[in-house]
A and B are shown apart, each in its own frame.
Chain A
Amino acid sequence: MRTSTTTWILTTLLGWGIALVMFFPIFWMVLTSFKTEGAAIAPQLAFTPTLESYAEVQSRADYLSFAFNSVAVSVGGTVLALAFAIPAAYGMAFHPSTRTRGTLLWMLSTKMLPPVGVLVPIYLLFRTVGLLDTRIGLILIYGLMNLPIVVWMLFTFFKEMPNDILEAGRMDGARAWGEVWYLLLPLTLPGVASTGLLSLILCWNEAFWSLNLTSSAAAPLTTFIASFSSPEGLFFAKLSAASTVAVAPILAFGWLSQRQLVRGLTFGAVK
């Protein structure tokens, strides 16, 4: 009994310790955003909170326009990825061929290539077809960028589904689309939802492509943050304020959907 109490205390302390270490940068960022630039440089906890940086950030850039772009490209990229991944994962999960395994591994292998390796060709392509600094361009890139992960996740969720049910649907007269729409998607909804949520979060936080392919018209919040680390020097308070308002929506979204996310990611494991 005593050992278990001790163990309990130790694991609790350890858990809290790790959580605090991980959370500290975010906490510090939020704290810094309420300081003056002077106070931001010195690491102090006691200070007079001010909204000065937020006002400055708001006056220098149109937050809402960046936020709108972030929402548009995240949702667009996710919808695009799902639209391609659902049929792909259905095909591979329920009508596998001898090349299915290879295809899956090949898709994953594309994630092993550093994005910068294809920056120049993609930049030139985008420039030629006029997709630079457009939301459509970013949606395309984000959708394709997340496609392998989305296919893999959906594939594992679809694999959990008993084939009998789809076969029963086929006997009942369902074509491939009917099977997917009436049976597969409703029954794997937790998995599909968590895949979509993950894709949304990945798109929202993506910085490499948005910094390189957009400047103003289609620039999302990651570009907004970057615009506050200027060549004249780092202004920590303003940078923190910009970051806070940029990550706040996705943090809130993640917080609200955490139950769905956890349920989806452990789907099957705890059936």
Chain B
Amino acid sequence: MATLQLRDIQKSYGALSVIKGIDLEVADRELVVFVGPSGCGKSTLLRMIAGLEEISGGDLLIDGCRMNEIGPADRGLAMVFQSYALYPHMTVRQNMGFALKLARVPKAEREQKVAEAARILQLEPYLDRKPGQMSGGQRQRVAIGRAIVRNPKIFLFDEPLSNLDAALRGQMRIELARLHEELNATMVYVTHDQIEAMTMADKIVVLQAGRIEQVGTPLQLYHHPANLFVAGFIGSPRMNFIEGQVAGVDATGVAIDLPSGARVGVPVEPGRARVGGTATLGLRPETLRLDADGPLAGTVRLVERLGGLTLIHIDLDRDGPVIVQIEGSDGTLPHQAVRLAIDPTACHLFDEAGTALPHLTRHPLTH
């Protein structure tokens, strides 16, 4: 049982403010992922929760108790580092048992807990090896084992998979998800990889420049991004943006004129959109279709064929470059002239400030 609350958490180095007031609730047994570009403060925030960085302002509560001044050793948390940070002079067994040794847990109990963690992580054959004799994936598992053995209130992960190759990363992602289910533990996970965020998180926190941009389930962020930043950050390939002019506002939605003259009526609440103002239309690559009768015209610049998917990079005549994602293998060739069809209900619209205009109907999985 462990909950985590951040109340207006701030961090500054002298005059430089890097975390600018974060409010967040992490429920018991929740897996929360902090995601954001490099330098957004996600690792700093995690290290502040861990107690490795001092908190300049605000309150950090674990299970309702204020922890700001409590040292990392006494917060009851465990952390898995990006570099693994194993103790190179100790065997796997000693690495995993170190915390228990410091806590003066009797040897028999220590051995038993290490054996249990080794079983969960399939590390039994390697218990007497030193970290230097192990592969990256195995070291990562030892680092996780070291965290499990402590039976912490909350697990903290600082980009744990970013040093692994792509295949191993996919495998470890599944193992971590399984582990979360098996251990029933509260976890905070930092990553810059949105696939990790989307696949593992109960709740994603998108950070930028020391502030929270949006908090929500993966599908909420995907279907209902709060602003241009989140819309561009979540989803791969990135959402296409076309700037246009608001042409009409009524109960069925907002209509926007694109530079090419095409008009798109998007079923969103008008919010602050006014006729004549600028707005940005957001189009996910997977919602665009090639259609000879479509309203947008352009020329194919590049085609990426991934087998199961085809990514077509198109320069629209007046509306700028877009990417279209088509299922299966498509025969479109570069330099070919094409037309695109838009599904207005799948479009997103953002006002001048970059804030999303809320959809009139929410996606059924995002309530």
Binding site for B on A (CB under 8 A): 162, 164-165, 167-175, 178, 182-183, 186-187
Q: How far is the CB of A264 from chain B (nearest CB, A)?
A: 16
Verify B88–A172 contact, CB threshold 8 A.
Answer: no
Given contacts A173-B102, A174-B73, A174-B102, A168 and B89 within 8 Å (CB-CB): no
Q: Kindly identify which residue among B52, B74, B86, B102 contacts A167, using a CB–CB cutoff of 8 Å.
A: B52
Q: Kindly identify which residue among A164, A174, A183, A187 contacts B81, using a CB–CB cutoff of 8 Å.
A: A164
In the complex, chain B residues whose CB is within 8 Å of the CB of A178: 102
Determine whether B83 belongs to the interface, using a CB cutoff of 8 Å to chain A.
yes
User: In the complex, A186 Cα to B50 Cα: how many Å?
Assistant: 25
In the complex, chain A residues whose CB is within 8 Å of the CB of B79: 167-168, 171
Q: Kindly identify which residue among A165, A171, A182, A187 contacts B72, using a CB–CB cutoff of 8 Å.
A: A171
Q: How far is the CB of B186 from chain A (nearest CB, A)?
A: 16
Q: Which 9 A-B pairs have the closest CB atoms?
A: A164-B85, A172-B99, A168-B85, A173-B73, A173-B102, A171-B79, A170-B72, A186-B89, A164-B83
Q: Kindly identify which residue among B51, B89, B150 contacts A172, using a CB–CB cutoff of 8 Å.
A: B150
Determine whether B215 belongs to the interface, using a CB cutoff of 8 Å to chain A.
no
Q: Other than the known A172-B99, A173-B150, A182-B102, what 10 A-B pairs have Cβ atoms closer than 8 Å?
A: A164-B85, A167-B81, A168-B87, A168-B146, A170-B73, A171-B72, A171-B73, A173-B73, A173-B103, A174-B73
User: In the complex, A228 Cα to B98 Cα: how many Å?
Assistant: 57
Determine whether B77 belongs to the interface, using a CB cutoff of 8 Å to chain A.
yes
Interface residues on chain B, number (Cβ under 8 Å): 23
Q: Kindly identify which residue among B77, B85, B99, B150 contacts A165, using a CB–CB cutoff of 8 Å.
A: B85
Verify B99–A167 contact, CB threshold 8 A.
Answer: no
Binding site for A on B (CB under 8 A): 50-52, 71-74, 77-79, 81, 83, 85-89, 98-99, 102-103, 146, 150
Q: How far is the CB of A192 from chain B (nearest CB, A)?
A: 13
Q: Kindly identify which residue among A174, A175, A187 contacts B88, using a CB–CB cutoff of 8 Å.
A: A187
Verify A182–B81 contact, CB threshold 8 A.
Answer: no
* Residue of A with least CB distance to B102: A173
Q: How far is the CB of A95 from chain B (nearest CB, A)?
A: 11
In the complex, chain A residues whose CB is within 8 Å of the CB of B74: 173
Q: How far is the CB of B45 from chain A (nearest CB, A)?
A: 16
User: In the complex, A171 Cα to B75 Cα: how many Å?
Assistant: 9
B73, B81, B86, B99 — which one has the most chain A CB atoms within 10 A of its CB?
B73
Verify B102–A172 contact, CB threshold 8 A.
Answer: yes
Verify A165–B73 contact, CB threshold 8 A.
Answer: no
In the complex, chain B residues whose CB is within 8 Å of the CB of A186: 89
In the complex, chain A residues whose CB is within 8 Å of the CB of B83: 162, 164
Verify A170–B87 contact, CB threshold 8 A.
Answer: no
In the complex, chain A residues whose CB is within 8 Å of the CB of B51: 170
A164, A174, A187 — which one has the most chain B CB atoms within 10 A of its CB?
A164
Q: How far is the CB of B327 from chain A (nearest CB, A)?
A: 43
In the complex, chain A residues whose CB is within 8 Å of the CB of B77: 171
In the complex, chain B residues whose CB is within 8 Å of the CB of A169: 87, 98
In the complex, chain B residues whose CB is within 8 Å of the CB of A173: 73-74, 99, 102-103, 150
User: In the complex, A183 Cα to B87 Cα: how many Å?
Assistant: 7
Q: How far is the CB of B76 from chain A (nearest CB, A)?
A: 9
Verify B52–A182 contact, CB threshold 8 A.
Answer: no
Given contacts A174-B73, A187-B89, A168 and B150 within 8 Å (CB-CB): no
Q: Kindly identify which residue among A167, A174, A175, A182 contacts B85, using a CB–CB cutoff of 8 Å.
A: A167
Q: How far is the CB of A251 from chain B (nearest CB, A)?
A: 32
Q: How far is the CB of A171 from chain B (nearest CB, A)?
A: 5
A167, A173, A182, A187 — which one has the most chain B CB atoms within 10 A of its CB?
A173
* Residue of A with least CB distance to B98: A172
In the complex, chain B residues whose CB is within 8 Å of the CB of A172: 73, 78, 98-99, 102, 146, 150
* Residue of B with least CB distance to A171: B79
Verify B50–A171 contact, CB threshold 8 A.
Answer: yes
* Residue of A with least CB distance to B78: A171
Q: How far is the CB of B222 from chain A (nearest CB, A)?
A: 33
Q: How far is the CB of B347 from chain A (nearest CB, A)?
A: 45
A168, A173, A175, A187 — which one has the most chain B CB atoms within 10 A of its CB?
A168
In the complex, chain B residues whose CB is within 8 Å of the CB of A168: 79, 81, 85-87, 146
* Residue of B with least CB distance to A165: B85
Q: How far is the CB of A170 from chain B (nearest CB, A)?
A: 5
